Amino acid sequence: MLGVDNWANSPGGVNDEYFCDDQIRLFDSSDRHEGGLSGLDGLNLVRTRLHEQKSPIRLVGLSGVVKS
């Protein structure tokens, strides 16, 4: 397993907190949430799905929008 590195050069290092924007929406094609999920709810959904076997995740967004 690869270690986590401070690739974004965050002043707080790898222990820095995520910045959450209440306007960000995540749309899940397998579930029809009207208006999408909040960024935090979407992140938690992605984390949950990544722990499930045979559950692929595809992140799609405009250039310049952080998807990593």
Buried b (16+ CB within 10 A) or exposed e, 8-28: eeeeeeeeeeeeeeeeeebee
pLDDT at 2 over 60: no
Per-residue pLDDT of 7-59, as tens digits, reads: 667 777 777 776 777 888 888 877 776 788 888 888 888 889 888 988 888 88
Name the 3-class secondary structure at 66: coil
Q: Residue with structure tokens 């998807």?
A: 67
Q: Is the pLDDT reported for residue 68 higher than 70?
A: no
| pLDDT of the residue at 4 | 62
Beta bridge partners of 25: 38
β-strand 25-26 against 37-38: which pairing, if any?
antiparallel
pLDDT value at position 1? Answer: 45
